Protein backbone atom coordinates (compact mmCIF):
# COMPACT_ATOMS: atom_id res chain seq x y z
CA UNK A 1 0.00 0.00 0.00
CA UNK A 2 2.98 2.33 -0.17
CA UNK A 3 2.35 5.47 -2.12
CA UNK A 4 5.36 6.74 -3.97
CA UNK A 5 5.56 10.49 -3.98
CA UNK A 6 8.37 12.09 -5.91
CA UNK A 7 9.62 15.64 -6.09
CA UNK A 8 12.06 17.50 -8.25
CA UNK A 9 14.21 20.42 -7.18
CA UNK A 10 12.17 23.62 -6.74
CA UNK A 11 8.98 21.83 -7.79
CA UNK A 12 5.87 20.97 -5.85
CA UNK A 13 4.35 17.55 -6.44
CA UNK A 14 0.69 16.99 -5.60
CA UNK A 15 -0.75 13.59 -4.79
CA UNK A 16 -4.08 12.64 -3.27
CA UNK A 17 -4.71 9.43 -1.34
CA UNK A 18 -8.23 8.34 -0.49
CA UNK A 19 -8.31 5.88 2.40
CA UNK A 20 -11.29 4.11 3.98
CA UNK A 21 -10.64 2.23 7.25
CA UNK A 22 -12.49 0.67 10.17
CA UNK A 23 -12.99 2.50 13.46
CA UNK A 24 -10.39 1.39 16.04
CA UNK A 25 -7.71 0.64 13.43
CA UNK A 26 -4.31 2.29 13.16
CA UNK A 27 -3.78 3.96 9.79
CA UNK A 28 -0.60 4.98 8.01
CA UNK A 29 -0.83 8.44 6.45
CA UNK A 30 1.83 8.22 3.79
CA UNK A 31 4.11 10.93 2.50
CA UNK A 32 7.55 10.72 0.93
CA UNK A 33 10.16 13.45 0.62
CA UNK A 34 13.29 13.33 -1.54
CA UNK A 35 15.98 10.94 -0.32
CA UNK A 36 19.17 12.39 1.12
CA UNK A 37 17.64 15.85 1.65
CA UNK A 38 17.62 17.59 5.01
CA UNK A 39 13.99 18.23 5.93
CA UNK A 40 13.64 21.65 7.53
CA UNK A 41 9.88 21.49 8.22
CA UNK A 42 7.32 18.69 8.19
CA UNK A 43 3.70 19.66 8.73
CA UNK A 44 0.78 17.26 8.94
CA UNK A 45 -2.44 19.25 9.23
CA UNK A 46 -6.21 19.08 8.85
CA UNK A 47 -7.60 22.12 7.07
CA UNK A 48 -11.03 21.80 8.70
CA UNK A 49 -11.81 24.86 10.84
CA UNK A 50 -12.57 22.82 13.99
CA UNK A 51 -9.01 21.45 14.13
CA UNK A 52 -6.92 24.43 15.17
CA UNK A 53 -3.40 23.06 15.45
CA UNK A 54 -1.37 20.42 13.70
CA UNK A 55 -1.80 16.69 13.48
CA UNK A 56 2.02 16.48 13.68
CA UNK A 57 4.76 19.10 13.34
CA UNK A 58 8.56 18.72 13.03
CA UNK A 59 11.14 21.47 12.57
CA UNK A 60 14.86 20.70 12.25
CA UNK A 61 14.27 17.03 13.24
CA UNK A 62 12.46 17.99 16.46
CA UNK A 63 8.74 17.22 16.93
CA UNK A 64 6.68 19.94 18.62
CA UNK A 65 3.81 18.32 20.52
CA UNK A 66 2.72 21.70 21.85
CA UNK A 67 1.67 22.60 18.28
CA UNK A 68 -0.60 19.53 18.06
CA UNK A 69 -4.36 19.71 18.26
CA UNK A 70 -5.41 18.05 21.57
CA UNK A 71 -7.38 15.30 19.78
CA UNK A 72 -4.11 13.96 18.31
CA UNK A 73 -1.96 14.00 21.48
CA UNK A 74 -0.48 10.54 22.06
CA UNK A 75 -2.05 9.08 18.90
CA UNK A 76 0.34 10.20 16.15
CA UNK A 77 3.93 9.14 15.54
CA UNK A 78 6.36 9.05 12.66
CA UNK A 79 6.42 5.65 10.99
CA UNK A 80 10.21 6.01 10.87
CA UNK A 81 11.42 8.39 13.62
CA UNK A 82 14.69 8.94 11.73
CA UNK A 83 12.82 9.76 8.48
CA UNK A 84 15.26 7.53 6.57
CA UNK A 85 15.01 7.58 2.80
CA UNK A 86 12.60 10.51 3.03
CA UNK A 87 9.78 8.57 4.73
CA UNK A 88 7.74 11.26 6.52
CA UNK A 89 4.63 9.09 6.91
CA UNK A 90 2.81 9.13 10.24
CA UNK A 91 0.72 6.50 11.99
CA UNK A 92 -2.59 7.66 13.44
CA UNK A 93 -3.64 5.23 16.16
CA UNK A 94 -7.09 4.05 17.19
CA UNK A 95 -9.02 6.06 14.62
CA UNK A 96 -12.61 7.10 15.28
CA UNK A 97 -15.39 8.53 13.15
CA UNK A 98 -14.18 11.98 14.32
CA UNK A 99 -10.89 11.40 12.46
CA UNK A 100 -12.73 11.35 9.13
CA UNK A 101 -11.55 14.26 7.00
CA UNK A 102 -8.74 15.71 4.95
CA UNK A 103 -5.09 15.48 6.01
CA UNK A 104 -2.27 17.40 4.34
CA UNK A 105 1.45 16.69 4.37
CA UNK A 106 3.77 19.61 3.59
CA UNK A 107 7.51 19.04 3.42
CA UNK A 108 10.03 21.84 3.13
CA UNK A 109 13.70 21.33 2.33
CA UNK A 110 15.93 24.38 2.80
CA UNK A 111 12.85 26.64 2.97
CA UNK A 112 11.53 25.32 -0.37
CA UNK A 113 8.22 23.45 -0.28
CA UNK A 114 8.62 20.24 -2.23
CA UNK A 115 5.75 17.95 -1.33
CA UNK A 116 2.08 18.60 -0.92
CA UNK A 117 0.20 15.35 -0.34
CA UNK A 118 -3.48 15.25 0.51
CA UNK A 119 -5.15 12.27 2.17
CA UNK A 120 -8.90 11.97 2.40
CA UNK A 121 -9.58 9.62 5.31
CA UNK A 122 -12.96 8.01 5.87
CA UNK A 123 -13.47 6.03 9.07
CA UNK A 124 -16.41 3.60 9.09
CA UNK A 125 -17.76 0.85 11.33
CA UNK A 126 -17.39 -1.85 8.64
CA UNK A 127 -14.31 -4.02 8.22
CA UNK A 128 -13.66 -2.96 4.62
CA UNK A 129 -10.77 -0.74 3.61
CA UNK A 130 -9.88 0.94 0.38
CA UNK A 131 -6.90 3.02 -0.71
CA UNK A 132 -6.84 5.08 -3.91
CA UNK A 133 -3.78 6.95 -5.15
CA UNK A 134 -4.69 9.87 -7.38
CA UNK A 135 -2.25 12.04 -9.30
CA UNK A 136 -3.71 15.20 -10.79
CA UNK A 137 -7.25 13.75 -10.30
CA UNK A 138 -6.58 10.56 -12.29
CA UNK A 139 -6.65 7.23 -10.47
CA UNK A 140 -3.26 5.54 -10.50
CA UNK A 141 -3.89 2.60 -8.13
CA UNK A 142 -6.84 1.28 -6.14
CA UNK A 143 -6.43 -1.27 -3.31
CA UNK A 144 -9.39 -2.99 -1.62
CA UNK A 145 -9.70 -5.45 1.24
CA UNK A 146 -11.52 -6.60 4.35
CA UNK A 147 -10.23 -6.60 7.93
CA UNK A 148 -6.69 -5.66 6.93
CA UNK A 149 -6.37 -8.30 4.19
CA UNK A 150 -5.97 -6.99 0.65
CA UNK A 151 -8.38 -8.74 -1.69
CA UNK A 152 -8.26 -6.66 -4.85
CA UNK A 153 -5.67 -4.53 -6.59
CA UNK A 154 -6.87 -2.50 -9.51
CA UNK A 155 -4.39 -0.49 -11.55
CA UNK A 156 -5.63 2.34 -13.71
CA UNK A 157 -3.32 4.25 -15.99
Are the beta carbons of 5 and 115 closer than 8 angstroms?
A: yes
Position 17 scores a pLDDT of 77
The answer to the question of residue 6 being in a domain is: no
The answer to the question of residue 67 being in a domain is: yes
The answer to the question of residue 90 being in a domain is: yes
Q: What is the CATH number of the domain that holds 100?
A: 2.60.40.10
Position 6 scores a pLDDT of 36
Instruction: List the one residue out of 5, 26, 14, 11 whose CA is nearest residue 88.
Output: 5
The answer to the question of residue 3 being in a domain is: no
Structural domain of 111: 13-155
Position 38 scores a pLDDT of 85
Position 157 scores a pLDDT of 39
The answer to the question of residue 2 being in a domain is: no
Helix (H, G, I), strand (E, B) or coil at 70: helix
Q: Cα–Cα distance between 132 and 99 in angstroms, integer?
A: 18
The answer to the question of residue 135 being in a domain is: yes
The answer to the question of residue 51 being in a domain is: yes
pLDDT tens-digit profile, the chain (157 residues): 333 333 333 344 556 778 888 999 999 999 988 888 888 999 999 987 676 789 999 998 899 999 999 999 999 999 999 998 889 999 999 999 999 999 999 998 877 777 778 889 999 887 665 555 555 444 444 445 555 444 344 444 3
Position 113 scores a pLDDT of 74
The answer to the question of residue 1 being in a domain is: no
Structural domains of the chain, count = 1
Position 56 scores a pLDDT of 96
Q: Cα–Cα distance between 4 and 11 in angstroms, integer?
A: 16
Position 114 scores a pLDDT of 74
Q: Cα–Cα distance between 94 and 72 in angstroms, integer?
A: 10
Q: Cα–Cα distance between 17 and 83 in angstroms, integer?
A: 20
Instruction: Please give the C-alpha separations between residue 20 and each of 15, 44, 98, 133, 142, in angstroms, as whole numbers.
Output: 17, 19, 13, 12, 11
Amino acid sequence: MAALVTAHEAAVTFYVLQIKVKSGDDVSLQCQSPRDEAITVLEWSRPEPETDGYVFFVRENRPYESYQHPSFHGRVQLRDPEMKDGDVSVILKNVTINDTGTYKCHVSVNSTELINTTINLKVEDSGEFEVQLLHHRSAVCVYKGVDGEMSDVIRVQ
